[in-house]
Amino acid sequence: MSEDIREVVRQKYARAITQKTSCCGAGSTGCCGGSPDQTTDIITKDLYRIEEIAGLPEDAVAASLGCGNPTALAELFSGEVVLDLGSGAGLDVLLSAKRVGPTGKAYGLDMTDEMLAEAKANQARAGINNVEFLKGHIEDIPLPDNAVDVIISNCVINLSPDKDRVLKEAYRVLKPGGRLAVSDIVLTRPLPEKVQQDLNAWAGCIAGALLDQEYRDKLATVGFVNISVETTREYDLTDSQANGFSLDLSEAELLQINGSIISAFIRAKKADR
């Protein structure tokens, strides 16, 4: 099923950027966002302050499909090297590049050709040079060991069918003492089996989400320390906007799992040598 998941996700993100819609399909407006008649998205709204995105291309901002703002929550310092896993249209990469300055560097990694083309175009429009976009999978990061100071990601790790591999790779490419600072969808209790097996719900950022304690355990198993999972947004599945989650459930079933889906900011550190 893992290859099926990856291909469904790739197709939906390709369609999202070429049609300027969501990864959930035509007629939506954010990664897991609401229907076209809604003015805000259930997950993607109000994540970036106006002063943060000032001067960046409108397309980069409009095409942001995340569930958080890792660049605002992560500590980034001048001269550091940052890697964004699943960088999409490049907004978080460009924001990171501005914060680490000309002596630092920001990498963006994405598997979707259409997203990479959009990201490179946004980089050119922004005139930011300390950026490099790479094609590849987050389960197999095309960088050497101990290469980056900080790893960020925005609502992407939940999409991977092999999260153990993602976290192992993240640990590998981080320098000793390096930091992981990612936004992601997290569960407070398990979802019904039929949701977990639904490919649309996978691409909608829900079916593949980890339980809070699962996330902590997987990070610890890889070797990360100083692990924390902080809730940044809770979602009301009884609200009409919940249809953007691509959950094929009855009203009673939605009520039963209401409160189980959150956005969270996950922090961890690679042990010092």
The 10s digit of each residue's pLDDT in 120-141 is: 999 999 999 999 999 999 999 9
Which band of pLDDT confidence, cut at 50, 70 and 90, is reported for residue 226?
Answer: very high
Q: What is the dihedral of CA 20, 24, 27, 33, to 10 degrees?
A: -90
Name the residue with higher pLDDT: 268 or 206: 268
Contact 205, 192 (CB under 8 A): no
164-to-46, 138, 175, 178 alpha-carbon distances in Å: 31, 11, 19, 18
The 10s digit of each residue's pLDDT in 79-131 is: 999 999 999 889 899 999 999 999 999 999 999 898 899 999 999 999 999 99
4: left (phi over 0), alpha (psi -120 to 50) or beta: alpha
CATH number at residue 26: 3.40.50.150
Is residue 235's pLDDT more than 70?
Answer: yes
Give the residue carrying structure tokens 């490049």. Answer: 90
Q: Which residues of 116-131 are buried (b: 16+ CB within 10 A; e: fewer)?
A: bebbbebbeebebebb
The average pLDDT across 221-227 equals 98
Task: Map residue 107 onto helix, strand or coil.
Answer: strand
For residue 27, give its domain range: 2-270
Tell me the pLDDT of the chain averaged across its residues. Answer: 80
Domain count, the chain: 1
Given this model, what pLDDT does residue 207 score?
Answer: 75
